[in-house]
């Protein structure tokens, strides 16, 4: 269709022809209707393709942004660790040294009688009397063995406080548990200020067997 022909087209007539188009027989449409339909189909196809591709690209962009944030956080953590690597090594050395020092405070089996003697001397020096002091059954833990010492002691309140402080000051690690204190007699008696304390002292020793078993499990 030439430009001169387009000028001669009556718009009203064109609209009437469009309204009278047979949708089931596209081949019978006039040329201008076919061209218009092709343009509409092309625009719709391009628009739909653009919308779908943009939506997909936006999703990919969002995923990439989220991944970037995660990777940056991981990079920061690793960079922080790398920067402080020497500090971590120094801390590890200090921990190993402290652990070794603590192990030296754990008595060997042959030293337990001497420890019992130290506890007895501490109690007697605090003005207490022992009704019982004896080793209980040894308890195996993950890296060490626990040796409970059952004690029954008589004396005054301040003497018991002094005894507890003295045990805490011993060169070997000893902890006190399961305190049970009660008066020995009624008021008015000569022993009204005397108390009886049942307590369990626990000392520890390094157990190579327990540590070896733990390593094998891991």
- Tens-place pLDDT, residues 87-107: 888 888 888 888 777 766 666
From CA 147, how far away is CA 196, in angstroms rounded?
Answer: 23
Q: For 136-168, write each residue's pLDDT tens digit.
A: 898 888 777 888 999 999 999 999 999 999 999
- Picking from 198, 189, 115, 118, the residue whose alpha carbon sits closest to that of residue 160 is 198
In Å, what is the CA distance from 118 to each residue of 49, 63, 169? 90, 69, 11
DSSP 3-state of 86? helix
Q: Which residues of the chain does CATH 3.30.70.60 include?
A: 107-212
DSSP state of 218: -
Question: What class is the 107-212 domain?
Answer: alpha beta
**What phi and psi values does residue 84 have, to the nearest 5 degrees?**
-100, 20
In Å, what is the CA distance from 131 to each residue of 121, 149, 189? 14, 13, 20
The whole model's pTM is what? 0.49
> pLDDT under 70 in the chain at which residues?
1-30, 32-34, 103-110, 185-192, 208-218
């Amino acid at each position: 269709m030439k430009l001169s022909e387009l000028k001669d087209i009556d718009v009203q007539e064109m609209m009437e022809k469009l309204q009278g188009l047979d949708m089931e027989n596209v081949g019978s449409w006039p040329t201008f209707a076919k061209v218009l339909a092709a343009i509409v189909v092309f625009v719709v196809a391009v628009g739909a393709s653009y919308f779908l591709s943009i939506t997909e690209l936006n999703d990919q962009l969002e995923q990439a942004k989220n991944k970037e944030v995660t990777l940056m956080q991981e990079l920061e953590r690793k960079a922080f660790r790398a920067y402080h690597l020497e500090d971590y090594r120094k801390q590890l050395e200090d921990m190993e040294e402290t652990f070794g020092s603590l192990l030296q405070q754990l008595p060997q089996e042959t030293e337990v009688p001497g420890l019992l003697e130290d506890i007895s001397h501490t109690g007697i020096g605090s003005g207490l009397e022992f009704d019982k002091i004896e080793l209980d059954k040894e308890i195996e833990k993950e890296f060490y063995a626990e040796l409970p010492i059952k004690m029954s002691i008589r004396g005054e309140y301040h003497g018991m406080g002094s005894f507890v402080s003295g045990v805490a000051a011993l060169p070997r690690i000893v902890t006190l548990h399961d305190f049970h204190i009660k008066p020995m007699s009624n008021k008015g008696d000569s022993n009204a200020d005397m108390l009886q304390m049942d307590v369990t002292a626990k000392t520890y020793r390094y157990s190579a067997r327990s540590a070896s078993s733990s390593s094998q499990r891991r």
